[in-house]
Structure 1
Amino acid sequence: MPSSTGIVAITRHVKPGSEVAFEEAVKGVILAASTFPGYIGGEVLYPQTKRGAWQLILRFETPVHREQWEKSPICQGWIARADALTIGPPNVVRVNGLEAWFTLPEVGNTLPPPKWKTAIVSAIGIYPVISVVPMLLKPITGGLPPWLATLVTIAIIMPLMTWVIMPQITRLFQQWLYPSPLKNSVHPSSHSKL
């Protein structure tokens, strides 16, 4: 994922009883965003507890593509719909590249961990994956040219890392990555509403 990728992570607390409507709204946001130029993907991180925070992550090829989405009337309409279903203002964090691997809804409005910590945790997550996945794919990729075998392997490893491995590894190392919420807190003025 290039370092210039435009990613926005929006954390919201849903009004009790509005969970189903909010989930439908989030799916609608992802569907609407997918029609915009530069859209790469989106995902929802569900709360661990009933009153926990929901997080929507949208990825665009560049920050410019992300801004085009955020400033669009379609996005503004979804913001209004989400506002009616949630409590208080959202926490909005814009990140680039692999920082999104370390964004957890339960951590809230915080800066990403230091790069040296993310490097260590990324290595812990990726080492077993790059050790095992190529061996498992050998029957499929064995007869392919090396460049194509590598492409197939990466096409499987990256989604696996993004949606399965890193959310779990980040939660496992949460206390170490985010030792003090006050220390890493982002001043509210550094975020705009989404």
Structure 2
Amino acid sequence: MQSPAGVVAIARHVKPGYEAAFEEAVRGVILAASTFPGYAGGEVLYPTTKRGEWQLILRFDTLVHLQEWEESPICQGWIARADALTIGAPKVLRVNGLEAWFELPEVPNALPPPKWKTAIVSAIGIYPVISLMPILLKPITNGLPAWLTTLVSIAIMMPLMTWVIMPQVTRLFKPWLYPPEAKRSAHKSSNSNPN
């Protein structure tokens, strides 16, 4: 049986004035990770305010490949570089699949929403995009082969979903995705952890 996919989300507060250097470092991390077996993609979620958290999301096809990356000297070197540009310890969360879309800096340590809720909110975010995308892209993709039209749509849709649509939709549905009892449960479980 294959190991489940490995996704890690790392949130950091950048030292004032070091944003450009940190963004360059984050791009370097993604480039370095892309050379490792099983790499499936990476994104940067930019903070909503100057003092907000930057989030780096890396995806690997299996947990084993994610672990190989995280334990590599290359990864450790990038962590040391990022440490010099940030304040405090990073928040590291391992999630499964689309759960990475539902991480909000303003809801730290919350339990992930149930899969049925993430499916509904994902559909709400995706529906208008896939409905409008063919119409908006028609002048560009008209006459292209179907496979290339699909590729162009995906290349535009995924960054749009990751950096624009889903952060806004997730914030809109935050009270439903992260009810107060879920936050309390997460707080209680973190306090019960002896480490």
The verdict on how the C-alpha distance between 1:138 and 1:63 changes in structure 2, with shifts beyond 3 A counting, is same
Alignment-derived partner of residue 182 in structure 1: 184
**CA–CA distance in structure 1, aligned partners of residues 41 and 164 of structure 2:** 15
**Is the contact made by 1:53 and 1:106 (CA closer than 8 Å) also made in structure 2?**
no
Task: State whether residues 47 and 106 of structure 1, in contact with CA within 8 Å, keep that contact through their aligned partners in structure 2.
Answer: no
Report the equivalent of 2:82.
82
Read off the aligned partner of 1:187 and give its amino acid letter.
Answer: S
1:64: which partner in 2? 64
Q: Unmatched 5+ residue regions in structure 1? A: none
Structure 2 residue aligned with 1:112: 112
TM-score, structure 2 normalization:
0.78
Which residue does 1:44 correspond to in 2? Answer: 44
Q: What is the rounded CA distance, in whole Å, between the counterparts of 1:20 and 1:155 in structure 2? A: 25
Within 2, Cα distance between the matches of 1:12 and 1:188? 22
| Structure 2 gap ranges (5+) | none
Q: Per the alignment, in what secondary structure is the counterpart of residue 187 of structure 1?
A: helix
Q: 1:169 corresponds to which residue?
A: 169
Spell out, residue by residue over 1:124-165, the C-alpha distance to the aligned partner (whole angstroms, 9 max, x if none).
1122223333445567478856x8876765565444433432
Over aligned residue pairs, what C-alpha RMSD do you find?
A: 3.0
Whether contact under 8 Å (1:45, 1:105) holds in the other structure is no
Q: Distance in 1 between matches of 2:160 and 2:117?
A: 21
Normalising by structure 1, we get a TM-score of 0.78
Aligned length: 188
Q: Report the residue type matching 2:108 in the other structure.
A: G
